[in-house]
Amino acid sequence: MSKQVEKPEWARIAEAFEASGQTQREFALARGVKLSTLQSWVYRRRRAETTSAAPVRLLPVQVQGAAPAAAESVLEVMAASGARVRFAVGTDVAYVARLVAALGR
């Protein structure tokens, strides 16, 4: 095609390619169009089909609160003064000892 091709015509050409069963290269050669332009319009057509195929449906969600922590993942230390301190399992033992000692003073 030596003349300027308009958008609606390219949409029809891309549609004809999809129905042809040919490769893009074969189709472009047979029609006398630039392969890169055909590829661009085929891409646009396919993209438009996928974005308009299924509309997104959002549902309302209600958050009730944070999930309770598993009992195994928390360590609770009670100082002689009655103060309670909770730590994640794996916290540095020396840090916990210093903190409990400071609370006991």
Q: What are phi and psi of 64, to 5 degrees?
A: -90, -25
Q: Where are the domains of the chain?
A: 7-53, 71-104
31-49: pLDDT as tens digits: 999 999 999 999 998 888 7
Q: pLDDT value at position 96?
A: 81
Largest CA distance in the chain: 92
Counting residues of the chain whose pLDDT is more than 90, the rounded percentage is 23
Placement of tokens 């000692």 in the chain: 101
Q: Is the model's pLDDT at 105 over the cut of 70?
A: no
What is the distance between the alpha carbons of residues 63 and 24, in angstroms, rounded to a whole number?
50
Q: Is the model's pLDDT at 69 over the cut of 60?
A: no
| Three-class SS of 29-81 | HHHCCCHHHHHHHHHHHHHHHHHHHCCCCCCCCCCCCCCCCCHHHEEEEECCC
Contact 5, 31 (CB under 8 A): no
Contact 5, 41 (CB under 8 A): no
Cβ neighbours of residue 37 closer than 8 Å, sequence gap 6 or more: 10
70-94: pLDDT as tens digits: 556 787 877 767 778 888 888 888 8
